[in-house]
């Protein structure tokens, strides 16, 4: 006989498995440090590209003043300032990425733990129903 509790549990498990579960399984196949490290590496690459684009736009917008002041400009001081802003930008962005993906990894692990617990519960319901039907 069909159990209403079993059907609800199976529906919940199937819904999770076809939606959020796929993403969580992809996350959980990594160790925490590997997953977060990969995300930070991607973030550093993206932040570098974004910084270069922003710097190019900054120079392009004020190109006339930049060219007029280039002879007065101390190149090494200018380069140090650019590198300082770059480092601050990348470190800040990487810190935000670290925090965000730490929470995401923790949430994925927690949801998977609940999912596997529900699978065990479903298995015990099946075993219980089979035991009752054998009598």
**pLDDT of 95-115, one tens digit each?**
999 999 999 999 999 999 999
Find out whether 121 and 9 touch, Cβ atoms under 8 Å.
Answer: yes
- For residue 2, is pLDDT > 70? no
Residue 110: HSE in the Cβ half-sphere, 13 Å Cα cutoff: 6
Flag whether pLDDT at 135 surpasses 70: no
Cα–Cα distances in Å, from 119 out to 9, 114, 116? Answer: 9, 9, 5
Predicted TM-score (pTM) of this structure:
0.78
Judged by DSSP in three states, 78 sits in helix
Confidence band for 35, pLDDT divided at 50, 70 and 90: very high
The single residue listed with the structure tokens 């529906």 is 11
DSSP 2: -
- pLDDT over 80 (residue 33): yes
The yes-or-no verdict on residue 84 having pLDDT over 80 is yes
What pLDDT is stored for residue 86 in this prediction? Answer: 97
Q: What is the pLDDT of residue 1?
A: 47
DSSP letters, the chain, are ---HHHHHHHHHHHHHHHTHHHHHHHHHTS-HHHHHHHHHHHHHHHHHHHHHHHHHHHHHHTHHHHHHTTTT--HHHHHHHHHHHHHHHHHHHHHHHHHHHHHHHHHHHHHHHHHHHHHHHHHHHHHHHHHHHH-
**pLDDT digit string, tens, across residues 5-31:** 888 888 888 888 888 888 888 898 999
What pLDDT, in 10s, does the model give residues 46-74? 999 999 999 999 989 988 888 888 888 88
pLDDT at position 134 is 59
């Amino acid at each position: 006989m069909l159990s209403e509790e079993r059907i609800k549990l199976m529906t919940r498990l199937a819904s999770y498995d076809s939606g959020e579960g796929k993403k969580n399984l992809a996350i959980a196949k990594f160790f925490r440090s590997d997953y977060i490290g990969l995300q930070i590496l991607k973030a550093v690459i993206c932040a570098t590209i974004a910084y270069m684009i922003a710097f190019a736009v900054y120079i392009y917008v004020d190109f006339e003043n930049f060219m007029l002041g280039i002879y007065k400009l101390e190149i090494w001081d200018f380069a140090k300032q650019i590198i300082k802003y770059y480092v601050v930008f990348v470190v800040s962005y990487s810190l935000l990425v670290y925090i965000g993906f730490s929470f995401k990894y923790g949430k994925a692990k927690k949801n998977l733990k609940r999912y596997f617990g529900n699978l065990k519960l479903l298995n015990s319901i099946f075993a219980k129903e089979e035991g009752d039907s054998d009598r």
